Amino acid sequence: MTSATSKQYTSELPSALYRADQVRELDRLAIQEHGIPGFDLMSRAGQAAFDLLRDRWPQARRVCIFCGVGNNGGDGYVIAALAEKAGFEAHVVQVGDVTRTQGDALTALQRAEGEGASFQAFDPNLSDGANGADIIVDALLGTGLSGEVRGDYAQAIDVINRSGCPVLAVDIPSGLCSDSGRVLGHAVKADCSISFIGLKQGLLTGQAPDYVGDLYFADLQVPAAVVEPMPPSAILINNARIREWLPPRSRLSHKGNNGHVLVIGGDLGMGGAAAMAAEAAGRSGAGLISVITRPQHISAILSRRPECMVLGVEVGEDISAQLNNVDVLVVGPGIGQGAWGQSLLRQALATDLPMVLDADALNLLASGQPCDDATAARTGRGNWVLTPHPGEAARLMSDTIDAVLRDRYAAVRGLQQQYGGAVVLKGAGSLIASDAGRTWVCRSGNPGMATGGMGDVLSGVIGGLLAQGLSVEQAAAAGVQVHAAAGDLATGQTEHTDEEYSQVHAPLGQRGLLATDLMPYIRRLVNPC
């Protein structure tokens, strides 16, 4: 690909994310209060998208642009005009009543006509909806979409997806909700997408990773004075933040400075979960690691990680002596939902120690089992991190999984408001909500990480970072990023990590990735300086 240094787009995404209404306000401020003509912004958007198209597909010469009747379609008309002027064959497929096109979009349409672009009203019965194109540009629907996609727009999206052509989505793949990342009935599956002015939060979570493709950004030269006063709706975690939170250690540091983590879990047959969490806590930098588990698992854990101090307990045993000698608890890996797990979780919750709750500890919390009073079990506290996947989140909210997936941002914020501390909603585009009101988004990670034990490793990483003095918000956000980036490094998939972390062996691929494969990369990532 041609270097993008002179282009008006970048693959390095900004950390500030916004809702669609916020970006519309930024657009208004740029036009009305900073004097940037709206057609100039549209022209810059079209130019940035066309630059990306030429860089990404340098051999392409026939471009088919699917345009709607709004400003997203206007961006498409600009691309059509630029393509014709550059010697391409630009063909516009018009979806919707073109007589409704007005303002800047109408000006762009007239310019495309003047440059010689061909136009055709959308016909779902055409055998070749892409008109023999080398590349399709999706400029159908922008960020204003709120309801389900229907009619010609739904049919046009289906035509694009069936075409077999590579697809560039302008601002957002049509049919994808820019706030939640949910598919609104039908959505374009793009090979890459370019977002403008403010990066939309819905491009990074929910169903979006299956539709967005490679993501690029263009600020359209909107002044910082327009954008910076707008508080972001969410923040993208990056490795620069990890460097800030994990500076080099003092030469005088000793193990006592770096915290003592106690992992509680590993009921019968599930000792591996506790072992992986303990190892991850150590690899992320905790000074001391203890494990409370079933007696049957002691030798296995010690043989894998002799650095751990392991205590075997039976149902109902008092662990108060151990709880009095540690700094952070990780409760839940393999703990089960029986009497053994209930007893241990009840004792852990009776302390005021910082803790990470995962797996069946969350299911027990949702059911009210740890305490005699279910309301007390649900009482929020400020010094814990909850790490549910969508099913566990639904149980914690007494709601359905569909409700959680419908708007992951709303779900993670609702969980945080109910339970306090920091909440990690796992999945593609993991989200972290903190008691400071911030929501963090992790873009790293890959489908190979959908295997047993990955959550146990994550809880151990977060616990290890908590033990080293990070706040619950920092430990949760940094832990998610380190864990996900380690998964990318372990597969050789490094496009979402900083360059200094990408010097790894030849890619091994995603299938066959195991949770313990992350361990050496976790160690690398928590030493970023």
Sketch out the chain's domains with CATH numbers: 16-232 (3.40.50.10260), 239-246+257-525 (3.40.1190.20)
The Cα–Cα gap between 329 and 289 comes to 10
Q: State yes or no: 336 annotated in a binding site.
A: no
- The pLDDT, as a whole number, for residue 252 is 85
Q: State yes or no: 171 annotated in a binding site.
A: yes
Q: Give pLDDT tens digits for 439-482.
A: 999 999 999 999 999 999 999 999 999 999 999 999 999 999 99
Q: State yes or no: 256 annotated in a binding site.
A: no
Q: State yes or no: 174 annotated in a binding site.
A: yes
Q: State yes or no: 195 annotated in a binding site.
A: no
Yes or no: say if 203 and 182 are a contact pair by the CB < 8 Å rule: no
Q: Give pLDDT tens digits for 283-292.
A: 999 999 999 9
Nearest to 429 by CA among 240, 214, 203: 203
pLDDT band at 3 (very low <50, low <70, confident <90, very high): very low
Q: State yes or no: 429 annotated in a binding site.
A: yes
Between 521 and 3, residue with greater pLDDT: 521
Q: State yes or no: 145 annotated in a binding site.
A: yes
Q: State yes or no: 455 annotated in a binding site.
A: yes
Q: State yes or no: 389 annotated in a binding site.
A: yes
Query: How large is the average pLDDT for residues 106-120?
Result: 96
Query: How large is the average pLDDT for residues 344-372?
Result: 91
- Measured in degrees and rounded to the nearest 5, phi and psi for residue 106 equal -65, -40
Q: How many other C-beta atoms are found inside a 10 Å radius of the C-beta of residue 398? A: 9
- The pLDDT, as a whole number, for residue 517 is 96
Query: How large is the average pLDDT for residues 304-316?
Result: 96
Please name the residue ranges forming H helices in 116-267. Answer: 151-162, 224-227, 239-245
- The pLDDT, as a whole number, for residue 493 is 66
- The pLDDT, as a whole number, for residue 370 is 62
Q: State yes or no: 146 annotated in a binding site.
A: yes
E-strand stretches of 382-488: 384-386, 422-425, 431-433, 439-441
Among 127-136, 148-157, 173-182, where is mean pLDDT lowest? 127-136
Q: State yes or no: 148 annotated in a binding site.
A: yes
